[in-house]
Structure 1
């Protein structure tokens, strides 16, 4: 099946389709099974969290504003859910709206019923949330990993999956690929990425080592209260690959005096002359280093 075919199968209804037809505007009788695509009022107690849902639901300022809106106007955009074999419905999209409804004292919320399989549900869930501005790197990583696996199950090859995900999200394939790698990082190290104590590239380096060694890395760097450089994370990855990574090696290696870091800042306008807007900071850095390596190999004077 082509990637285009999958997108068409899981394409959400337009607002005209959702709200303008008499059939879709019916409030379902709880004793009658809703039809696929119908908007119905579902009791909040019947809506269950999506399995392995990667996105947080937090009581922040945005949630307070949503609660006030729900109190005054109700839920304006229906959630999406699918029937569960064991009863009730599994929320695909709308976890924050459900929480806001609970805080607002509501008993029900409008929901679009979708009859879809696990892989289709994952793709819808990720696409409905990935463009939010307030999501963490770890949430993006886990979401992209779930969508990538779902698309593979649908028969889309790895390269095509990454290309389609890149086109839909507006992120480079390399960034998405790195985020998918990052999803295999231990949660403690993932938290450090979210807290910017580790960069994305450092997190990707550490994601290639076994889980038990990841925990050793976490324990040692916290014990020594040190931050890793890109060179050190790459060396740790190499030590794991060659079989000599352990706590003693890490303590000795991280105790070595590090050279004073150098930081070079480029003028944004100058960079815009050479790099396209869709390139991430990591892509730009990688390309600059590659060009410098080629320049060095040619024996150019320093």
Structure 2
């Protein structure tokens, strides 16, 4: 075969590099410079961007060395959508740069583009460092890729090698469904999560963005978010509005009650507000436990008296008391009739 006609294979590692490397790569094949004004962020970018010292350190590094690792983009109309490098772009702007080295990827499906976004973020930050909503995005994207027979295995394998996560994108995960490893178990093994936790994060990913923010902020408990994920988008928006308006928190009991009322078809604003405020839980009719003060017990009984005997005596006393009250009330009513 004529070597001049051989298609050049571009490795994923050459695209993304190692963010922790202090030595710029000498390979510039496949890279180009793009103006920062021509770049747009990935739509609904699911990760929180760097702030504070971490961002300032990146700015100082770029001022000194420039952007060492090229960002990755795809063309969208007359702009370029960032797939990897949102923090580098923001820091480059702050550092006063007007252009950044770039790799333009073509022919990506939406799933593959999202996979690049999530996997390159997890390379730069540990999974435990991510917020709940960010973890949910990573797990959901990986879960979808592993189940989809049409996803490009070469892309997954390159990401796999770069992220140093063994066995996650191995060949056995792309066998027919009856021979596949259980995706929950496989993903759980990589991120040190139980299968139940993986399932919960897959549910969290189905929440609206506003509800996800409340989970991240601790206003909604993680497991409560799982129940809320079963609500319709319209009811999720209603719940978010009630929580934000009144700074309420939602625990598992409240979330389960909201889900129950929606399932029964009677979840509306008033009902949701009563549940979220806690008023409905207060009026469930449950009798709160009541205890007599020790001083009252000691007034009529000896410390060594049998507990059951004391309870029986109190019960008899109360029966006598209420019967007397009933007779007294009856006598009063008869006296009023005689007066009339």
Counterpart in the other structure of 2:130: 135
What residue ranges of structure 2 are gaps of 5+ in the alignment?
Answer: 1-8, 19-24, 151-173, 287-340
Q: What SS class does the counterpart of residue 130 from structure 1 fall into?
A: helix
State how far apart, in whole Å, the 1-side matches of 2:185 and 2:232 are.
28
1:14-163 aligned within 5 A:
25=26, 27=28, 38-82=30-74, 84=75, 86-87=77-78, 89-118=80-109, 119-130=111-122, 132-133=125-126, 134-155=129-150, 160-163=182-185
Per the alignment, in what secondary structure is the counterpart of residue 185 of structure 1?
coil
Gap change, CA 1:228 and 1:113, over 3 Å in 2: closer
Q: Using CA pairs below 8 Å that are at least 6 residues apart, which structure has the higher relative contact order?
A: 1
Distance across 1 between alignment mates of 2:66 and 2:220: 41
When residues 136 and 17 of structure 1 are mapped into structure 2, their CA distance, relative to the original with a 3 A threshold, is closer
Measured after TM superposition, the shift of residue 229 of structure 1 is 2.9
1:13 and 2:3 aligned: no
- Greater share of helix residues, 1 or 2? 2
Cα 1:241–1:14 shift into 2, 3 Å: same
SS in 1 for 2:282: coil
Label 1:151 to 1:51 Cα distance change in 2 as closer, same or farther (>3 A).
farther
Q: Aligned partners of 2:11, 2:183: CA distance in 1, in Å?
A: 16
Cα offset, 1:243, TM superposition: 1.7
Q: How does 1:135-214 map to 2 (within 5 A)?
A: 135-155=130-150, 160-214=182-236
Q: 1:86 Cα deviation (Å)? A: 3.2
CA distance in 1 between counterparts of 2:80 and 2:188 reads: 31
Distance 2:64 2:103 in 1: 21
Q: Write the deviation string for residues 154-188 of structure 1: whole angstroms up to 9, x where unpaired.
A: 44669754445434444444323322211222333
How far residue 193 of structure 1 moved from its aligned partner, in angstroms, is 0.8
2:333 corresponding residue in structure 1: none
Residue 41 to residue 203, structure 1, CA distance change in 2 (3 Å): same
Shift of 1:126: 0.8
Provide the rounded CA distance (Å) in 1 between the counterparts of 2:66 and 2:80.
20
Per-residue deviation, residues 6-43 of structure 1 (Å, max 9, x unmatched): xxx9973269999xxxxx8465xxxxxxx7xx233333
1:257 aligns with 2:279: no
What SS does the corresponding residue of 2:102 show, helix, strand or coil? strand
SS at 2:77 equivalent: coil
Q: CA RMSD in A?
A: 3.5
- The size of the alignment, in residue pairs, is 236
Measured in 2, the distance between the counterparts of 1:120 and 1:110 equals 22
* TM-score, scaled relative to structure 1: 0.64
TM-score by length of 2: 0.58
